[in-house]
Structure 1
């Protein structure tokens, strides 16, 4: 039985030919996407994903952004889970400008596609084998009002992924145009230094991660001070702990960067608290 996707409201086999050569997401990266987690047949943190998606659609001047509220996202997630007979997995919702034109679009109608990649985990799992990280310096991330969005224009992450493979690392740190810590390949970054948790501010160009927001609130709830800041990558040589966050994997512990090695007490505690949610 083939897997199913939801393409503009229709549940169809995922191997169905759909996009033509004029699609703007293909031609120009003209769109954005949400990576989300399905657990026990339900979408996690639907309200946060809906808020971020609607803000992104407004920024790209896409119409009908109000349709994509948390109720709609939960409904579509449950539909595709039932159709694919899956309770847990990774969801990707891609929204693109469904229009003609060259660089200037003819209009701003939004098209969309929801995919589900099932897995067996009904909770966020702690990676006991910590990640080995490297710093990607071949390209830097620019700072502008699109920097916080998960857009379909993702070449910097593709090149960072190639660098990761070449350097035999598990993940890489990406720097912004000013040389400060920005994010990882598909995650936000948290650094524990002298008992204080730091993460790059949104003004530093990082993705406005849903799990980033959740973890900040969890840390504050457990009396761990958190600062969103401009972070010199040199702190990686002095930090006690480093971990990554994203909506699909939760929290991923980093064991080392270069010759530096890190502890995992805080990240392990936060994973436990995350699963209690």
Structure 2
């Protein structure tokens, strides 16, 4: 069952027309949420990122789009799918309705909520082999639009196909300045000695909610220094550790990049602190 503008429907009953702007122009954005026992992880951060993203896209935010209203709609959708006492992945999609060419003809806003069951309630470390490579066919643009979760994800799609064809678990994306910005499904962190580095938003990386949580955790660690600074491809093979982040997986260690193997010590430490933060929030 899905939630379309507040109405619960069977998935087969949902009709998206050819004039839908999200379908036609990618004029849409989304949030991916992890919900456990009807508690949305980091909901405030997701909500404020969503509001900021809608403003960047010049969407007119409906008056009813309060934090409480959207939370209720998410929990309602989880409940009708029998997942109120389980872990769930939620996609909250926002589009600008129907009609018009590039210029919208209305200020309508549609929303939809789709849920899937997840196995893990809290975050764990997966140390199975996880090999990545650079995806160099196309480059991301530095700047504000690259930092938000719009439905324009063609580079991520092409990178995923490249990874599948070459038996990689993931790929690293570059911007037009040839700096490493992120992976296909999340942010990137690099560990060298006692320094933990992640690309800055100015390089075009996603303004990830999990990225924000880890930055807050790392800045409180006495033994490590956090840097938000550009990462060149040459730094990857000199790193002690690489890991990726998103709100569904939490932290995913990268074990191999080309001929280099990496440790997972810092990722393991951070997962423990992340779960403590989740429990206390």
TM interval, short-chain normalised: over 0.9
Matched, 1:49 2:46: yes
Match of 1:218 in 2: 217
Cα distance in 2 for partners of 1:123, 1:5 equals 25
- Once the two structures are superposed, what CA deviation does each residue of 1:105-150 show, in whole Å capped at 9, x if it has no partner? 1123211101101123211121121421111000000123211011
Residues 1-277 of structure 1: pairs in structure 2 closer than 5 A:
4-64=1-61, 67-86=64-83, 87-223=86-222, 224-277=224-277
Whether the 8 Å CA contact 2:143–2:203 is kept in 1: the answer is no
- Once the two structures are superposed, what CA deviation does each residue of 1:187-226 show, in whole Å capped at 9, x if it has no partner? 1000001210000000000110000000111111223211
Whether the 8 Å CA contact 2:173–2:183 is kept in 1: the answer is yes
Q: CA RMSD in A?
A: 1.3
Cα distance in 2 for partners of 1:14, 1:212 equals 32
Relative to 1, partners in 2 of residues 1:69 and 1:202: Cα closer, same or farther, differing over 3 Å? farther
Which secondary structure state, in structure 2, belongs to the residue aligned with residue 109 of structure 1? coil
Which secondary structure state, in structure 2, belongs to the residue aligned with residue 15 of structure 1? helix
Relative to 1, partners in 2 of residues 1:19 and 1:231: Cα closer, same or farther, differing over 3 Å? same
Cα distance in 2 for partners of 1:28, 1:164 equals 26
The unaligned stretches of length 5 or more in structure 1 are none
